[in-house]
A and B are shown apart, each in its own frame.
Chain A
Amino acid sequence: MEQFQPDRLSPAQVAAMRRSIRGGRAALTRRSLLRSGAGGLLAVGGLGALGACGIPPAGTEQGGVPAEDHSEKDRTVNFSNWTEYMDVDDGGGRRHPTLEEFTRRTGIRVTYTEDINDNSEFFGKIQAQLAAGQETGRDVMVLTDWLAARLIRLGWVQKLDPANLPHAFTNLSPQFRNPDWDPGRAYSYPWQGISTVVAYNKKALNGIEVRSVSDLLDNKKLKGRVGFLTEMRDTIGMMLLDMGKDPARFTDDDYDAAVARLQKGVDTGQIRRFHGNDYTSDLTKGDLAACLAWAGDIVQLKADSPDVDFVIPESGYITSSDNLLIPNRARHKTNAERLIDYYYEPVAAARLAAYINFVCPVEGVKRELAKIDPDAAENPLIIPDEEMRAKSHAFRSLSAKEETVYEEKFAKLTGA
């Protein structure tokens, strides 16, 4: 840049200015200029701007907000799901046979995206759009019970049209029919059921017996080698069952007692850590001798590492589900409903169940599954028998206030 030479100042002034620009304590540097400029801007503009922000209240229209349905002329559907939650073909593993079958049959092309990794994170991702009443670009998505309940409560998902869901209506397993957050399934249908069980590594246990959640917390020989889940409802639910409480009807005091019991495990170093999806390698390596785990993972782990096994505590286990939901302003609602219904046909459901090993929510699938994989058809973790169903418990839905208070307490327990 050219040298700045002011010409309406006296030579002495010019000299002084140059000095001030070039050196000295009060030198006018780019940094100090930016500093004062930014400070002034923030002071003047900031306070005014702060007041203008805010998040509008959630729309609470019952039944959600529809958009114009483009299903007829635009034969596609946008499907958001969790990773490894869909069958894949043997070669390459990039194609999904059940989805291809759906397209062949209906002519509806499925844009399948595995962009859900964590319920909380996914909520953070779509929250702003749904709160602002914008479309998310998704027609159907899969979310766990408590988040599905929250979205229904906030009025951010659409009511389903039963006329498009004949198979789903008939074939839905009774166990999943009436969750307290969506009685009669007006807004959601389960994709898969999830059982929370106690898993262990036989080699790491070295003869120590683990049959209940209490064993995890009380056996001093397991100090620093047991883990619990970061999903509040799974960990607290199993704890409540262990204490003889009903997760479907517990009080604030029961909740606090469960947290206190776990807190003792944290304080004494009995509990190694709270884990999300990342526990599987710890369990196979034996760093975790026993932990709370999701049965679907354990079915898959067992195939590779014979040391890993699970036990259903005498006091029962927690069942939840991942649910198909249609968000507000989805552009292909009818196509999405047809997709949901398709997965309630026993043949499609069996092909899916044979591949992903979670609890299948579809009645009458056992016969179809036996044709593909007889072992899977007899596995109570995939198709629960009477005994399994009797031990299964659901965590009750929480009000918005309870959710905040409980999550806060659970966050304190897990370290923050």
Chain B
Amino acid sequence: MTLTEAPAPPAPAAPPPAARPRRRGRFTPYWLLLPGILWLLVFFALPMVYQASTSVQTGSLEEGYEVTWHVAAYWDALSGYWPQFLRSVAYAAAATTLCLLLGYPLAYLIAFRAGRWRNLIMILVIAPFFTSFLIRTLAWKTILADGGPVVGALNALHVLDVTGWLGWTAGDRVLATPLAVVCGLTYNFLPFMILPLYSSLERIDGRLHEAAGDLYARPVTTFRKVTFPLSMPGVVSGTLLTFIPATGDYVNADLLGSADTRMVGNVIQTQFLRVLDYPTAAALSFVLMAAILVMVTFYIRKSGTEDLV
């Protein structure tokens, strides 16, 4: 590009064949972009437009649906289902926090201390993905069964009295309570937290730790001043990868929860498949998307890592 666009070149120096690489050079990036752009158009932009349209339609299956700019669907969605929205955000936030608390030490261990066990532990982290999401969630029904050892132990230690008082569990059981749903969410999304954390921890130069020690920093201070700040990109992308899908999840609430643990994903599913209220379902999806977008933007601004992805 640079060479051929030089002003007033000596005429004989630019023979016709030289024009070819120039043209190819100019358009190559666009050709390379094309598959991605097409993909986005067909599988993201078009469905979005279709959904946006559905959200402002009215009608029924018999009469068909027409765009009537009935924006009240948004108001109905929000006023009717705000408890489920709040619940989704609360459960997802709880699951994300738990994932971070569980995932960080493990990622730290894999990155710095695992040695030759590193690959094995990585495989163990990823191994659950070899079975289906549904099976993994159903397995929790056995783990947390009323007569099972986990609930028995929690009862013996009177943990369920405390969680019951907090409203996380009901009676002497865990299944069909908020705690079970949060457990399911945490378990299912944990690898999405560990993998980005690991990849950013693993990149940290070990000599920085030595330098910190040489400067009389205690291990805690080293972690606080060196390791944790450097792992922030991993923390941010890990929390996003966990929080966003967890907010929209409905499988965990469906299988492990009860009537008062339903999340917004369940509402959308019910409205779309059972009530056949397509506009409300579409409006709910848009409100959810907007809410997540706002929260994520705020979060990224706050954590000051805009260039992480």
Contacts and interface: CB of A to CB of B under 8 A. Distances in A.
Interface string A405-416: 001101101111
A413 B262 CA distance: 11
Interface stretch (B119-127, B140-148, B188-196, B233-241): B140-148
A415 B259 contact: yes
B60 A224 contact: no
Nearest to B278: A55
Interface stretch (B45-53, B95-103, B207-215): B45-53
B70 to A, nearest CB: 12
Interface stretch (B104-112, B167-175, B216-224): B167-175
A53 B266 contact: no
B17 interface: no
B62 A60 contact: yes
Nearest to B144: A287
A266 interface: yes
Contacts of B65: 54-55
A5 B7 CA distance: 12
A224 B171 contact: yes
Interface in A121-137: 121, 123-124, 127, 131
A53 B62 contact: no
Contacts of B138: 278, 281
Interface stretch (B152-160, B198-206, B268-276): B268-276
A153 B276 CA distance: 15
Interface string A76-96: 000000000000000000000
A8 to B, nearest CB: 8
A285 B147 contact: yes
A397 to B, nearest CB: 15
A271 interface: yes
A1 interface: yes
A12 interface: no
Given A58-B62, A415-B266, A53 B273 contact: no
Contacts of A1: 29
Q: How big is chain B's contact interface, by range?
A: 35 or more
B248 interface: no
Contacts of A403: 276
A285 B170 CA distance: 19
Contacts of B186: none
Nearest to B138: A278
A232 B258 CA distance: 16
B300 to A, nearest CB: 11
Nearest to A41: B45
Contacts of A266: 259-260
B54 interface: yes
A124 B61 contact: no
A-side interface size class: 35 or more
B149 to A, nearest CB: 13
Interface stretch (A44-52, A165-173, A299-307, A368-376): A44-52
A46 B52 contact: yes
B56 interface: yes
Contacts of B178: none
A244 interface: no
A127 B276 CA distance: 11
B259 A408 contact: no
Interface string B1-26: 11001110000000000000000010
A313 interface: no
A27 to B, nearest CB: 10
A60 B60 CA distance: 13
B249 interface: no
A410 B262 CA distance: 14
Given A53-B67, A278-B138, A411 B274 contact: yes
B275 A58 contact: no
A154 B275 contact: no
Given A5-B2, A400-B60, A411-B275, A51 B270 contact: no
Contact of B64 (A58, A278, A404): A58
Contacts of A273: 176, 257-259
Nearest to B52: A50
7 contacts: A5-B1, A7-B7, A45-B49, A57-B64, A60-B62, A154-B61, A415-B258
Query: Which 4 interchain pairs have the tightest Cβ spacing?
Result: A57-B64, A415-B262, A53-B53, A416-B267
Interface of B: 1-2, 5-7, 25, 29, 49-50, 52-54, 56-57, 59-67, 81, 84, 138, 141-142, 145-147, 170-171, 173, 175-176, 255, 257-262, 264, 266-267, 270-278
Given A154-B62, A287-B145, A408-B277, 14 more contacts: A51-B53, A54-B64, A54-B65, A54-B67, A55-B64, A55-B65, A56-B64, A57-B64, A120-B274, A131-B61, A271-B259, A274-B259, A404-B275, A415-B259
